[in-house]
Amino acid sequence: MSDGSREGVLEGLRKTGVTALFFGRLLGACVPALGRPRLIIAQIYNAGARSLIIIMLSGLFTGMVLGLQGYDLLHRFGATSALGTAAALSLLKELGPVLTALLFAGRAGTALTSEIGLMRATDQLTAMEVMAVDPLRHVAAPRFLGGLIALPLLTAIFIVVGLFGAQLVGVQMMGVDRGIFWSQMQSAIALKDVTEGVVKSVAFGAVLSLIAVNEGYHADPTAEGVGRATTRTVVASSVMTLLLDYVLTAAFL
């Protein structure tokens, strides 16, 4: 192994270690942070409610495309009655959790990282420490918990709106029977399918919030440093979402 690649591996390991340690401290800070629900609710609003429009719009169009593509595919086999099941399965198990996570990384993750990074750059975190207030408990933990709670909720909304979009195209435009669309879906979807979506969205919520908070907390306290940290949040979140999605899908099969 060349010196360069060995250093790269060591640096990667070091960063993983730092993140793991930070995660441990963050979890420790979450317990006292639960005693301040007002801070957490504010962050659920920031990460969740403020992402609603982009999530609902994306969900609607994703569902509509599913309706079109699904109808086109199933029509070739004369199986358009399975459109509801196909749309629901893809939304519940894959598209809902994954697309919501990717949108969350771009909308809420970047906002979290740059906000915490700028707090670091303007000495706000240091000021808290000097005032004997733990910034991990007051700033990082509520944002982590807010993201962790908001992402599964956003995923559920994405799926519901997506199903509405698929129905809009499949039933209203393409003429699939409304009763068959919903009843096939109802009978074919098992609890396990819903569980898979829930587990994925909770896992994405934890990992993406951790990445965003960690990058912001450890950003270089300069304009350039905060910019770089924000970019790293998007890149790491996207890659981790897709990687974790594969692992979890394999685990559920």
Q: Which residues bind another protein (CB under 8 A)?
A: 118-119, 122-124, 126-134, 138
Which of 54, 118 has the CB closer to another protein? 118
Which of 130, 191 has the CB closer to another protein? 130
Three-state secondary structure call for residue 48: coil
Cα–Cα dist 233/155, whole Å: 20
Which of 130, 251 has the CB closer to another protein? 130
Which of 139, 210 has the CB closer to another protein? 139
Residue type, 231: T
Cα–Cα dist 80/92, whole Å: 19
Cα–Cα dist 142/38, whole Å: 9
Cα–Cα dist 101/90, whole Å: 15
Least distance in Å: CB of 48 to another protein? 17
Which of 139, 151 has the CB closer to another protein? 139
Least distance in Å: CB of 144 to another protein? 17
* CA distances from residue 3 to 12, 90, 92 in whole angstroms, order as listed: 14, 45, 46
φ, ψ of residue 227 to 5 degrees: the values are -60, -45
Least distance in Å: CB of 116 to another protein? 12
Least distance in Å: CB of 138 to another protein? 8
Considering only CA atoms, which of 193, 206, 207 is closest in space to residue 239?
207
Residue type, 199: V
Which of 98, 136 has the CB closer to another protein? 136
Least distance in Å: CB of 130 to another protein? 5
8 A C-beta contact, residue 150 and residue 205: yes
φ, ψ of residue 78 to 5 degrees: the values are 65, 35
Cα–Cα dist 188/174, whole Å: 22
Other C-beta atoms closer than 10 Å to the C-beta of 25 total 14
Which of 84, 135 has the CB closer to another protein? 135
What six digits make up the tokens of 43?
Answer: 């962050």
Least distance in Å: CB of 118 to another protein? 8
Least distance in Å: CB of 127 to another protein? 4
